[in-house]
Structure 1
Amino acid sequence: MAKNSGRSRAPRGASAQIEPKPLWRRLVRGVLVWGFALTLLGAVFLGTAVFFTMRELPDYDALKSSQNGQMIVVRARDGRELVSLGPSYGKWLPYAQIPQIMRDALVSVEDRRFREHPGVDPIGLARAVYVSFTTGGRARATSTITQQLARNIFLNNSRSFTRKMREGVLALALEAKFSKDQILELYLNKVYFGGGAYGIDAASRKFFGHPGTDLSTAEAAIIAGLVKAPSNYSPTADVEAAKGRGRVVLGLMAREGVISASEADSVDFASIKIAKEKGQNSVRYFTDWALPQLDMLLPENNEPIEVWTTLDTGMQDAATKAIDASVPKGAQGALVSLDRDGAVLAMVGGTDYVNSNYNRATSALRQPGSAWKLFVYLAALEAGYTPEDRVVDEPVTIDGWSPKNDGRNFAGEIDVRTAFAYSKNTIAAQLGNEVGFGTVASMARRFGITTPINTKPAMVLGTSEVRVIDMTRAFAAVSAGGTSIEPYGIVKVTTTSGELLYEHKSVRGQVLVPHHVAAGITDLLQTAVATGTGRAAQIGRPVAGKTGTTSSNKDGWFLGFSSGITTGVWMGRDDARPVGGLSGGHAPARAFASYMRYAVAKRPVEMFDTELKLPEWQLEPDDEQLQGNPEDYFYVDENGNLVRPEGPQDGEPGAEDGGIGPGGPVPPDYGPQGNGPPPPAAANEDFLDRATGRSREDPGLRPGQGLGSPVAPRASPVPRITPLPRVIPPPRATATPTR
């Protein structure tokens, strides 16, 4: 009998099988294994990179002696030095001499885990990734103090993944080589606080007028708050913004337990005295606008450079004096002046750069008022209107909006030129409605307006906010015959040894409107100064321009050009409150005239091209065009002989030399046999006038405008214009004009 071995035997014919593991377990195991391997490999590479970077880092004394920033000498168009800009370094403060409140304030606002991380904050990085994932936005991790120090000393501010990786490696190497106190000392003595000040001692002296060792709690909070955005929170630019940022810093310090909440609340920012800057004038408005463009014009460069600009020092002084002498009390003023190629000759951004370096010429957004009508009438002229076309100044309502004229009266039937010269709001509304408000907005875009534009009916009166430099650019394009103009301020950049780094290249502008449109709007602008609302802008030579005044006298504008120079002037209050008596035709126009008398004094007088050379589609067909020149017109008599309408008789000029008039040839077959005395006229003058379409008193043949004068007749009449169908709707409601 066979013994039982205790082993179970598989049935005959069945193969042994091992049950496979579930797929999810295999995937998890693979991810863990490969994740660990990749992490380990990455750590090895990172450790190697940090090790070799640490070995290459300069020693502490070398890092202390290195300086950031770049010396820049700015020159006027004649080579005269305007200003010298560059880094300002105060006294190096050792860690023990830096006020504790300053150290705590900076750590609280810039890197609250500074004492805990190894140079890169993994918690902050994870939080940034989480926020990005949950909100769908871009990951924005705040750099640690050590990372910022590495960037300031060794790298640039470019936003790239490669630069961020290098910054992280450098930060880890710095932490490995130096202590936290050393890193914080380096940071506080080298970080940029705005206004050219590097380090807390330079910032304290610049903003508060005393050394960095004497900083109060409020002052330390303000300086710590500058790191995020030095230009936005600078005490010399906006005191209230700086104090507001300081209060935020105090709140963060209280949250971190550096100071108590009661201490934060008791800090008195009103007692802070801001030091006055010396040697500042209106030229700085221009340099503040022009110099940031170097980032786009030049490759990365840290050596001292000289920047040659377009600014004319004499014109800048004249512009500053014109604004100061004309601006109403309590208001601000701005001026931009462009040469015919777009070169900025003068720029004034306010009445006092020391008290406010806010540039109202390039940054402020204000309503242009009637100066916006430039684009309304440009669109109308392009659609077929001419300055002589008749329009009716009467009450009008468009989509429930009923514009009123200044003075609350209506002139009845007038021409387009008069409507523009006296800035008739009702006519602008009708023209805008006819050509389309979107068309007007498109015209403004075409001429360089970059700010948002609404297309409601009231937009024709300038309700969309604009910048002074953009409006000046638009008028400069008209001065250039309807060709685009690009304002620029930098002519060339060289090293101190004379090596050319950049030079401006003149580029021919694009044609924005046909020549006859530019000529027509110049005609209107010239009339506005000669007889209309801009009479105060007259300077004894041809001037074309337009006034602008907003509701309640909040803004006053005058923009115009003469002898190739275009200038825009704005006046008003920063808080947009009304200014008593302010209007474009008064203070701004007077400031324009005061400046322009100096600006064009050495330039020849230039007459404006206002001749309407109309395109063929806008010319009215006539019999003369179809039949030829009436002076060369002949009839054929019953015998087949050519008979001229008028011919000299015996003894008249032209008979002896074979002419049909002064200088005209006689056809070879004139007369029955080609010789003999000429026959009498075959038709009288009245018949010929009717036959050829000539009318000796045709009211359609209006005299055109000559060059330089809005009332001078041309030597020859312009062809008649076929007016476009007028689609201006009648008023939907009867409005009673008020006076």
Structure 2
Amino acid sequence: MGRSVRKDRGGQRAEPQLFSAAKGGKGRAGKEASPPPRGSRRRRRSLLWPVIRFGLTLAVIGTLGLAGMFGYVWMTLDKQGLLQIPDRDPGIMILANDGSVLAEQGSFNGDEVRIADLPDYVPNAFIAIEDRRFRSHYGVDPIGLARAIYTNYRSGRVVQGGSTLSQQLAKNLFLSPDRTLQRKLQELVLALWLEKHYSKDDILQLYLNRVYFGSGATGIEKAAQVYYRKSAAELSLAEAATLAGVVKAPSAANPISNPRAASDRAGLVLESMADAGFITPEEAAAAISNPAAAKTDSYMSAKNFVIDWIGEQLPEFVRDYQQSLVVETTIDPALQNSAELAVAKELGAQGTKLKVSQGAMVVMDGSGAVLAMVGGKSYKKSQFNRATKAKRQPGSAFKPFVYLAALEHGFTPDTVEVDEPIRVGNWQPENYRKKYLGPVALETALALSLNTISVKLVLQLGPQAVVAVAHRLGIVSPLKDDASIALGTSEVTPLELTAAFVPFSNGGYPVTAYAVTRVKTRDGRVIYERNGSGFPRTVGDNELWGMNRMMRLVVTDGTGTRAGFPGFDIAGKTGTSQDYRDAWFIGYTSDLIAGVWVGNDDNSPTGKVTGGLLPAMIWRDVMEPAHRGLTPRPLPGTPQVAMSGPATVTDAQYDMGAAEEPAPPGINAGNFLERLFGGGQGSGNPKKKHNSARERAMRDKLDEP
């Protein structure tokens, strides 16, 4: 094609003319070509317009469809939940009896952070690994979503998510974890809603305070405390990167249980931060070469047994709550620590040699308030609370209920029974060393834990009388209704057995063991408060005096001498079950009562451990320091019948081997009794004394109506 310039008559340039060599034109000779027909332009315009119109129509339809879909999704949501950000799940703060914090569970005071208080690299670590374009998108990231779809398609499985931080927050705040299309659409809609109503920093702050980091830690402040023993504001770059990596896989990338995986994940976070320009490559390399190590304790306190027990009871006091709670308890921190150390020390020093793997201890006062509880040797290795849940045979530690039933039927501590071989059907109960003492007073029989005398008493009283006494004092477990109850063959827990001894120390009043005194909301409203006068008295003065006289002799002259310490009136009872599977000591003063059990979870025999060994030693380790500063008081009870003074167990009786266990050398507790109460019968003629005592007891029984 060519072009020439034509001038009009005035010499001005005319419009350019197109030249064509087509048929009908002049070609190079300069002949003019015909202009294009008008119809061809109309045809081009007519073809372009339908395409534009179709595109516009699709856009309108798509917009309307998208609006309709969003409207439908919006209508399926609970609008009430969208009017405000829901409160965090209520937490629980458990306080000791001195007001100190025993434990915090869930979200409570001081566990939320502000973005302004954090180093920049802390929130940036989460942005880099979770949502690189967080600051630029409007709740939904089309690029990230498309990339995730493509990556998952290429991989043939879901390996990458396209959710933004806003979407993740929307899911955590408002939605269930169901993986459905409707839930995903709701997540998109709510992310847009969040972006409209909150700033980027607000959304990021909400996210960091609500996301779960594993190991029971919700929110970055709690996570920083759990993993690094510091505030989130004090986190290093490596620590922040590690926590950012935990969010995607709280178990697989847990810094405590999987430190290698956590370190690898943190390295990926640091590289992403460098790629995004949040930190320099040199800073990333330095943090990768010095990974953050979680600061964990190899030892977990036994107070967790108490905390678990309190948590199990809480629904009984508070059925439904919307606020965080403050739970006030009776737990004494110093006594709790002492009990924990004593059990761990004795089992650690002698457990292997004596084939004892577990122990439990409960300490309470005369009202039944639990001051300390140890449910096992190591909470970290086993969370099973043996103090409250382990049903074990109490052995001779059950005998005080037999003897109390006897006193209530007219017997006295001086009543004489003959220690001799006995047979009940095909059962022949025997003493510890299969030796027998002949005529002995009941107090001597209990002090030396003679099995034959206990069985004889049950046969005379009837098993039902003993069962009734045990239940009346606080035993709640089912008890066998036969003669074997004399030797403690029915299983009980350490908590209930210890609580059942409380009436001997508090004047005869049964108790229910408890630890929670009051429950309040965080703003101070009282939801539950313990009150009431308790149970009526069930043990009289005469019987209390007799029982405490006999069980005092257990500690001063009998099988429980290792539990004694000077200056206080102490009583108690040892217990050893068949084949040495369980060993117990339950002892008390007028101020405190404590029970100790040792044994094995699989019920295997120990290395001939008796109640007067490890249990009595643990008891003394805890109770002697617990009584420092307390004023000694005599145990309750007043004799209402003429009874002889306290006796002593003679060396000859010990030499007979009748005791439940060998007595330690060097004990002369009879002198202590004489100093404490005055008088005493000395060693006299046991048989003559016993005969006269029995005659008096028989006469008193005949005089009863």
TM above 0.5, one fold? yes
- Alignment correspondent of 1:434: 460
Alpha carbons of 1:52 and 1:714: their partners in 2 closer, same or farther (altered >3 Å)?
farther
**1:54-106 CA deviation, whole Å, 9 max, x = no partner?**
464457x889x646532222221111122222159999989989x99xx99xx
SS in 2 for 1:362: helix
CA contact (8 A) 1:516 1:612 kept: yes
1:479: Cα distance to partner? 1.1
The correspondence of residues 658-677 of structure 1 with structure 2, limited to 5 A, is none
Alpha carbons of 1:321 and 1:384: their partners in 2 closer, same or farther (altered >3 Å)?
same
1:567 to 591, 594, 600: 594
CA contact (8 A) 1:71 1:86 kept: yes
- Alignment correspondent of 1:444: 470
- Alignment correspondent of 2:399: 373
- The answer to whether the aligner puts 1:336 opposite 2:362 as a matched pair is yes
- The answer to whether the aligner puts 1:389 opposite 2:401 as a matched pair is no
The one-letter code sitting in structure 2 at the alignment partner of 1:211 is V
CA distance in 1, matches of 2:103, 2:671: 40
CA distance in 2, matches of 1:724, 1:442: 23
CA contact (8 A) 2:590 2:636 kept: no
Q: Given the two structures, how large is their TM-score scaled by the length of structure 1?
A: 0.55
SS in 2 for 1:333: strand
- The answer to whether the aligner puts 1:289 opposite 2:230 as a matched pair is no
CA distance in 2, matches of 1:702, 1:569: 32
2:621 to 587, 594, 608: 594
Alpha carbons of 1:453 and 1:381: their partners in 2 closer, same or farther (altered >3 Å)?
same
The one-letter code sitting in structure 1 at the alignment partner of 2:333 is T
1:481: Cα distance to partner? 2.1
- Alignment correspondent of 1:301: 321
CA distance in 1, matches of 2:640, 2:318: 44
- The answer to whether the aligner puts 1:410 opposite 2:443 as a matched pair is no
The correspondence of residues 89-104 of structure 1 with structure 2, limited to 5 A, is none
CA contact (8 A) 1:54 1:176 kept: no
The correspondence of residues 547-626 of structure 1 with structure 2, limited to 5 A, is 547-614=574-641
1:518: Cα distance to partner? 2.2
CA distance in 2, matches of 1:508, 1:434: 33
The one-letter code sitting in structure 1 at the alignment partner of 2:105 is L
- Alignment correspondent of 2:538: 512
- Alignment correspondent of 1:361: 387
SS in 1 for 2:386: coil
CA contact (8 A) 1:349 1:359 kept: yes
Q: Which has a greater percent of helix?
A: 2
1:558: Cα distance to partner? 0.4
Alpha carbons of 1:438 and 1:354: their partners in 2 closer, same or farther (altered >3 Å)?
same
**Which sits farther off after the overlay, 494-503 or 595-604?**
494-503
2:338 to 318, 328, 337: 318
CA contact (8 A) 1:608 1:708 kept: no
1:515: Cα distance to partner? 2.6
The one-letter code sitting in structure 2 at the alignment partner of 1:496 is R
The correspondence of residues 173-572 of structure 1 with structure 2, limited to 5 A, is 178-179=183-184, 196=216, 211=246, 213-214=248-249, 280-298=300-318, 300-327=320-347, 328-329=351-352, 331-540=357-566, 541-572=568-599
1:311: Cα distance to partner? 1.0
CA distance in 2, matches of 1:53, 1:396: 83
Alpha carbons of 1:365 and 1:153: their partners in 2 closer, same or farther (altered >3 Å)?
farther
1:83 to 100, 103, 127: 103
CA distance in 1, matches of 2:454, 2:399: 7
CA distance in 1, matches of 2:528, 2:488: 39
CA contact (8 A) 2:74 2:186 kept: no
Q: Given the two structures, how large is their TM-score scaled by the length of structure 2?
A: 0.58
SS in 1 for 2:698: coil
CA distance in 2, matches of 1:388, 1:448: 27
SS in 2 for 1:432: helix
Alpha carbons of 1:606 and 1:702: their partners in 2 closer, same or farther (altered >3 Å)?
closer
The one-letter code sitting in structure 2 at the alignment partner of 1:544 is A
CA distance in 1, matches of 2:527, 2:611: 43
The correspondence of residues 16-165 of structure 1 with structure 2, limited to 5 A, is 54=76, 56-57=78-79, 66=86, 69-87=89-107
CA distance in 1, matches of 2:92, 2:333: 18
SS in 2 for 1:566: strand
**1:520-543 CA deviation, whole Å, 9 max, x = no partner?**
111111111111000011011211
1:703 to 640, 644, 662: 644
1:505: Cα distance to partner? 1.4
Structure 2 unaligned residues grouped into runs of 5+: 1-71, 113-125, 132-144, 159-169, 192-208, 228-241, 258-293, 648-669, 682-691
1:608: Cα distance to partner? 1.9
1:206: Cα distance to partner? 9.0
1:454: Cα distance to partner? 1.6
CA contact (8 A) 2:447 2:559 kept: yes
Structure 1 unaligned residues grouped into runs of 5+: 1-49, 105-148, 155-169, 224-234, 237-273, 615-700, 727-739
CA contact (8 A) 2:564 2:620 kept: yes
Alpha carbons of 1:366 and 1:492: their partners in 2 closer, same or farther (altered >3 Å)?
same
- Alignment correspondent of 2:698: 722
**1:180-237 CA deviation, whole Å, 9 max, x = no partner?**
9969x99xx99999974679xx99x999998364589xx79xx9xxxxxxxxxxx99x
CA distance in 2, matches of 1:469, 1:277: 29
CA contact (8 A) 2:96 2:331 kept: yes
Alpha carbons of 1:552 and 1:703: their partners in 2 closer, same or farther (altered >3 Å)?
closer
CA contact (8 A) 1:336 1:568 kept: yes
**1:685-708 CA deviation, whole Å, 9 max, x = no partner?**
xxxxxxxxxxxxxxxx65345999
- Alignment correspondent of 2:198: none
Q: Which has the larger radius of gyration?
A: 2
SS in 1 for 2:388: coil
CA contact (8 A) 2:393 2:582 kept: yes
1:503: Cα distance to partner? 2.4
**How many residues are matched?**
472
